[in-house]
Amino acid sequence: MEVMSGFYWDSGKKEINQDSVLVEQVNTGKGRILLAAVSDGIGGLPAGEVASGFLMERLQQHFYEEILPLIRKGKSSKKIRHSFFRCLYETVGMLQKYADSREISLGATLSVLLLMKRRYLILHVGDSRIYEIRKKRIRQLTEDHRGEGNILTRCMGSFPMSEVYVRFGRYHKKTGFLLCSDGFWGRAAEELLREMLDPSEILTEEQIQKRLSEIGSYGKRQGERDNLSAIYVLLKREEEGFEGNSL
């Protein structure tokens, strides 16, 4: 699979950008493996950028030390998912210790996308989102964990471990995946996202960067004050001749 990607990261009207993003790609004997993630630090709590940044650091480390070896060994989707869960539980424990030592509460959303062997795995907590854009259609692949008054009901941080939303699926050529914080999608209608990030209209990574920036600028013109972060991953063609156990 030919993969192109780009990201957008803007503090909006705030002094500190509490969002964090991560994109990692590796070519292996099992094909190209990609990990992407977006985390939005909770603005109403102190040190949101610490929570989101630490989540990205832990995911990056776990991807290379645990996930890639499992994939290379042909391990099952259950083992891969459990490995991610173990990483998240350990990370929440570390964040709890950090918060307790400073007598604070901190937290962040987390949306993770793993692409491998023509399959995707999504792990998600909070109100950041992952969209699939394909054949002139856009589909939200995550659920928003919000309650009355748009109050966040799940997050990662100095709280008991939240239930993680998990989704498996198959991906196809000419498909785009958009991961974004609520500051990015909040003022942009899905129709705008679909039109601007139509896979058939994008040929280069420079175009991805430009279009993400245009969407972000539109949101700010519409009055968005929150941090705005997004990653767009575009799959252009299927790999040939690869056989293996599907995720």
pLDDT digits (tens, 9 = 90+) for 128-158: 999 999 999 999 999 999 999 989 999 999 9
pLDDT, residue 242, reads: 29
Q: Are 112 and 155 in contact (CB under 8 A)?
A: no
Rg of the chain (C-alpha set): 17
**pLDDT the model gives residue 1:** 67
Residue 237, pLDDT score: 66
Specify the pLDDT at position 45: 87
The pLDDT value given to residue 71: 93
Q: Is residue 32 within 8 Å of residue 11, measured between CB atoms? A: no
Report residues of the chain scoring pLDDT below 70: 1, 237-247
Which pLDDT score is estimated for 114? 98
Alpha carbon 234 to chain centroid, angstroms: 14
- Residue 144, SS3 per DSSP: coil
What's the token pair of residue 126?
């909070």
